Structure 1
Amino acid sequence: MHYEPVETLPLNDRAGVAAALCALLSPLVPMLSPGSARLKLSHTGANSELPAQELEAFSRMLWGLAPLLAGGGTHPIAGRMLDGVRNGTDPAHPEYWGDVTAPCIRSVEMAPLGFALALCPGYFMERLPEPALRNLCAWLGQINTTHLWPNNWLFFRVLVNLGFAAVGRPVAAAKLAEDFRMIDSWYLGDGWYSDGSTRSRDYYVAFALHFYGLIYAALNAKADPARATAFKERAAAYAHDYVYWFGRNGSSFPYGRSLTYRFAVASFWGALAFADVEAMPWGVIKGLWLRSIRWWLRQPVFTETGLLTLGYCYPNLNLPEGYSAPGSPYWAFKAFLPLALPAEHPFWRAEEQPLPKLDDVRPLKHAFMVISRDNASDHVVALAGGQLQLPTAPHMRYGPAKYSKFAYSNAFGFSLPLDRETLVRGAYDSMLAVSEDGMDYHVRGDVRDVNVDNGIHFSRWSPLKDVEVETSLIPAGPWHVRVHRLSTPRALHIAEGGFALGLIDETKCPEATTRTTDERAASIANPKGFSGIVDLHGHGKGELIETIANSNLMEPLCSLPMLTAKLEPGSYVLACAVLGAPGPGDHRATWNHPPSIQMPQSGIKVLDGQGRVVFESA
């Protein structure tokens, strides 16, 4: 089947978005198994059985296909999908999807199937013979008697039972009541949930908890009006914080787990439209949604035949979690939910609008973040730390890198420590790394006593036994300042990183890259942007580290400005200022006027580049 590159398609209206979805569905058709119940997309693996991985790839296409069908569209894969549903739920068929015996990926993949039943019940009831529909409901019904992880997984049972109600099958009302009580217990206020009884408040709040709640609100408002209203009100409140995660160009900062789901981050905006929640003007919501999808479809995230790959801004097997299978990226199809809405809906009729006016600094207390926005460069930085709880779940990788860096950027992303040995392999951007031997480095992981009062992110942490650190992260215009009070009973090597900047091909244009290092600073500039770090107190010399390939989420080859020093046993105040600016331009004026620090007899005072006090402590 012909593959049409999606980056060439205009995404301006309903027809354009439908065309983009169809272009993404078409490469899946030749990958279907003979019985159409499985999709084998590559030879990489995950921590689940192979049949379950191939079910995952099959079921996740329904997040996009079901809205397309519900909205009156069609695609050649739809007929094969029905064959797959019939065969995958038939215990006598060789491609049977298997029984659920414990919390596993099969329970996850029941959600898009239940969603599809709920969204377009007539489509399935008219095309599946009664024995096949019975088999489908029997297979899905296993979710009502199996244990689910006490987090967003509880919504999978909710979606399956929505599907049952839509096709006239009994629902597990008592079980759902129990699930809803637990989901409500995770609600923190101001639109925010934790994902279970944890400190996790990452993108799962948007593309899981609110997304499913809004589907429920849209499809079950008559039967459960009070809960539908609550889900809508919570989502409307959350929207006014979530908007701060996005830049004008549609990008958002990578943070947390499951980042290979990519444009699933846009699904929350589409779900607001689906549930008729005008949390902001429709044109603003539409713009947020469209720009996010456009930004992602411009990234090199596809194979030569048009399949989505594992990774973030490029194919990268270092990023995914242990549960990420070849079909996992198709969770991104959640973004296509508005295709279920008719063309007359005010969401589709609205003119796309830019971001509303946003504060330069926005504390998000429930997420343990302070969002800093430089409007001139469209750089969004989350000063963060506090969500990670160690030990992490068994199949999640690089927890400290995904949750405990000091800063997360929509322009520079973040890097993964492919090895703790040496700064090159550790790629410690936006971190203070400490080592006893100069080889094996340790960073901030679990965080104590975190707060974001007055727009300053404060935390206590310990990278090594008996090494104690108090860190304040302070927005200062396009810069941010980090102040650490560190005490150590033994000598340490320390290294603190700024943002990792993607490298260009210098064989073609060597003069386009400028590198500078001295006794107190390091910086690099090229057409992709500018990154620099300057010592304000106590660090030592500047260095540029070319980190190991494919450690950064957004660029495969990077240079990382760092400050390094060796500390003897004692107590220290370490302070630095970090500047990142995406894109070409002359940033010397800003770089030449960094923030500064004053240390009178008691306390610390931080001033921005114009001499204004931005932080003062006793």
Structure 2
Amino acid sequence: MTYDPTTANPLYGNPLKTRDDIEQALHALFNPLLPFFSEGRARVRLSGNAAHFDRIAADVEGFARPLWGLTPYAAGGGSFDYWDYFRDGIANGMDPDHPEFWGTVERTDQRMVEMAAIGFTLRMVPEKVWDPLPGRAKDNIATYLKSLRRYAYANNNWKFFRILVDMGLTRVGVDFDRTLTEQYLEELDGFYLGEGWYRDGNVRRVDHYIPFAMHFYGLIYAKLAAPGDARADAYRERAALFAKDIRHWFDDDGGTLAFGRSLTYRFACGGFWGALAFADVEALPWGEIKGHFMRHLRWWSRHPIADRDGVLSIGYGYPNLFMSESYNSAGSPYWALKAFLPLALGADHPFWRAEEAGTDFGSDPVALKHPGMVMQHQKGNVVALSSGQQNHQMRHGAEKYAKFVYSSRYGFSVEVDERGYERGAFDGMLALSDGMRHYRVREDNEVAQIAGNTLFARWKPWDDVTVETWLVPAGDWHVRVHRIETPRALHATEGGFAIGRADLDADHCEEADGVARAQSETDLSQIVDISPEGKRQGRAQRALPNTNLIVAKTIVPQLTGGVPAGTTVLATAVSATVNGVDPGEAPAMPDLGELEALFRREGVTVSAIDIAERY
């Protein structure tokens, strides 16, 4: 190891098998924050790096997000010695006469997000932060939380934040205007796609916000709503349907699909399993739900996700600002504590009493039409062939949403030099250049369809260049077929999976006509040209450091070559497996005419793209 696991991960060494282990993990994650509380305890400043919102809001984020874990822990009877920090912090932060006042909200504001955790706390454990306060402090809190309602919340999962504040205010007896409460719930229902899937707003993306936001908040509502609430029943039913699909975003080792934005929230991805337990929804046998939950936390316990002082870093598998969003402050990663929601349940709950059960995913691919993915389970990994998603608003949107393939074990890489075509990682992508300096990759699709276990997309890297791409699962391999129509000659680079790179170039690499392979101590990654005419050159690309989400230094097998003017068909077979797993020989190129006929006969539009996205 190149880091000290005892300081680079607060979960390191915790077996994460029992409820007591999960309690210990919560304390280990929270305690490193104690030195960073301000004198008035209303702010927690963890770093000098900035988000797009103001510094005070970032400090509020650092203060409030731990409550997603501490509140259910207290509701479940857990002993926590620092509730006075939060009681004083909330009182001072909402007092306009206090030096640490959080500031007046004048528009759509990050404070609206963070107040949801406080509303949740008021609803769950008012005796910790509300009941002991004097009347003036209570009046300030009520005034501040009601002042947020002057402005519309963002048209996505943010609407749940107002609902959570509403629930908290109701619990502590504060009267407020409920005009928008029902309207927001109806608008949230408008994002429902069916079969358990939502989209997070009027956007062409279906990502981890569906389990760790839309369903997570919906299940909290379902648990805490008044008896007979029909919407609570709907949230439970939708979550039960969703569980049968989203389990395929997790591998047999506990890793989850590295895909989309906000991955610095890390084990918030496992919060869905805990939310099922919280809302008493046995969507799968309790042993399977618990198995997904525990394995996921154990997966994270093995990665250097914290700084030397034990504070969670911005990043994914290690500290990494390249992959971050403009809205990630140093406090952002503490949404990971959403995973601790089941601590609200006593040890006698069937979730905690159940024996962990594994999941037999089988070897057949699984089509998920709403996100536009075909899932392939392997040992210690799940692969998603992907078409139909896009994100033009976030940094590295193409890498986070528009690659051809994503993985739990190998993550994905972001590009850090837009004028460095020959240095690009391009894992899971086809990059095209007309000058060997700048490049274009798939960013969005004109058409995205699914037919059985096969995906099709038509995309345009330039207005005058059209690419049609078919993605086909093939055991431990997958096949990509690209038909490129271009009026001028281009150069193409296509990447396989990125695997960890050893020091001293100790890995074994093969670079030849039509093939590139990289083998480390643990993994084998391969890319093979199966095009009908001509072969591209294989290359084992030593990617720029800190570009991959999971491993800081990687090798990416690539194929490179020219694309003449006119119509060219490129076909590629790609595989990455744990050492000891034989993926077999590369598959042959499928018949292009049969692929076209399949989509004429059975192709349906991927739900994620079936909307006119607004910017």
TM-score, reference length from structure 2: 0.93
Given candidates 440, 443, 457, the residue that maps to 1:442 is 440
Aligned residues: 594
1:285-340 CA-to-partner distances (Å, cap 9, x unmatched) read 01111111111122101111110000000000101100100000001000000011
1:442-464 CA-to-partner distances (Å, cap 9, x unmatched) read 00011122122111011110111
User: Aligned partner of 1:410: which letter?
Assistant: S
Secondary structure class of the residue paired with 1:386: coil
Whether 1:532 aligns to 2:526 is yes
Structure 2 distance, partners of 1:80, 1:456, is: 54
Structure 1 distance, partners of 2:21, 2:441, is: 45
Compute the displacement of 1:131 (Å). Answer: 1.9
The question of whether the paired residues in 1 share the 8 Å contact of 2:470 and 2:480 is answered with yes
Whether 1:518 aligns to 2:538 is no
Compute the displacement of 1:197 (Å). Answer: 1.7
1:129-157 CA-to-partner distances (Å, cap 9, x unmatched) read 22212212221112322111100000000
**CA pair 594-57 structure 1, distance change in 2 beyond 3 A:** same
- Map 1:337-486 to 2 at 5 A: 337-358=341-362, 360-374=364-378, 377-389=379-391, 392-393=392-393, 396-486=394-484
Compute the displacement of 1:424 (Å). Answer: 5.0
Alignment-derived partner of residue 19 in structure 2: 14
Structure 2 distance, partners of 1:135, 1:527, is: 59
The question of whether the paired residues in 2 share the 8 Å contact of 1:418 and 1:425 is answered with no
The question of whether the paired residues in 1 share the 8 Å contact of 2:83 and 2:129 is answered with no
Compute the displacement of 1:43 (Å). Answer: 1.0
Secondary structure class of the residue paired with 2:230: helix
The question of whether the paired residues in 2 share the 8 Å contact of 1:520 and 1:540 is answered with yes
Given candidates 190, 213, 218, the residue that maps to 2:218 is 213
User: Aligned partner of 1:99: which letter?
Assistant: T
Alignment-derived partner of residue 571 in structure 1: 567
Whether 1:332 aligns to 2:336 is yes
Compute the displacement of 1:107 (Å). Answer: 0.7
Alignment-derived partner of residue 545 in structure 1: 541
Compute the displacement of 1:605 (Å). Answer: 10
Secondary structure class of the residue paired with 2:258: coil
User: Gapped runs of 5+ residues in structure 1?
Assistant: 607-612
Given candidates 155, 159, 165, the residue that maps to 1:160 is 165
Structure 2 distance, partners of 1:427, 1:478, is: 22
Shifted more, 135-144 versus 246-255: the winner is 135-144
1:260-293 CA-to-partner distances (Å, cap 9, x unmatched) read 0000000000000000000011111011111111
**CA pair 240-479 structure 1, distance change in 2 beyond 3 A:** same
Compute the displacement of 1:603 (Å). Answer: 4.9
The question of whether the paired residues in 2 share the 8 Å contact of 1:38 and 1:54 is answered with yes
Whether 1:283 aligns to 2:284 is no
The question of whether the paired residues in 1 share the 8 Å contact of 2:253 and 2:381 is answered with no
Identity of aligned residues (%): 44
**CA pair 386-549 structure 1, distance change in 2 beyond 3 A:** same
1:6-54 CA-to-partner distances (Å, cap 9, x unmatched) read 2112211111101110111111111101111101111111111111100
User: Aligned partner of 1:551: which letter?
Assistant: T
User: Aligned partner of 1:433: which letter?
Assistant: A
Secondary structure class of the residue paired with 2:99: coil
Moved over 3 A (4+): 2-5, 356-359, 602-606, 615-618
Alignment-derived partner of residue 293 in structure 1: 297
Given candidates 579, 583, 589, the residue that maps to 1:590 is 583
The question of whether the paired residues in 2 share the 8 Å contact of 1:469 and 1:485 is answered with yes
Q: Which has the higher contact order (CA 8 A, sep 6+)?
A: 2
User: Aligned partner of 1:183: which letter?
Assistant: L
The question of whether the paired residues in 1 share the 8 Å contact of 2:313 and 2:330 is answered with yes
1:210-262 CA-to-partner distances (Å, cap 9, x unmatched) read 0000000000142x520100011011100000000001110012111101000
Structure 2 distance, partners of 1:122, 1:344, is: 24
Shifted more, 162-171 versus 231-240: the winner is 162-171
Structure 2 distance, partners of 1:312, 1:138, is: 38
User: Aligned partner of 1:570: which letter?
Assistant: G
For the aligned residues, what is the CA RMSD?
2.1
TM-score, reference length from structure 1: 0.93
1:505-561 CA-to-partner distances (Å, cap 9, x unmatched) read 237xx3xx2110111100000113111100000551111111111111111111111
Alignment-derived partner of residue 175 in structure 1: 180
1:116-174 CA-to-partner distances (Å, cap 9, x unmatched) read 11111233333222221221222111232211110000000000001011111124322
The question of whether the paired residues in 2 share the 8 Å contact of 1:161 and 1:172 is answered with no
Secondary structure class of the residue paired with 1:458: strand
User: Gapped runs of 5+ residues in structure 2?
Assistant: 1-5, 604-615
Secondary structure class of the residue paired with 2:571: strand
Alignment-derived partner of residue 32 in structure 1: 37
User: Aligned partner of 1:71: which letter?
Assistant: G
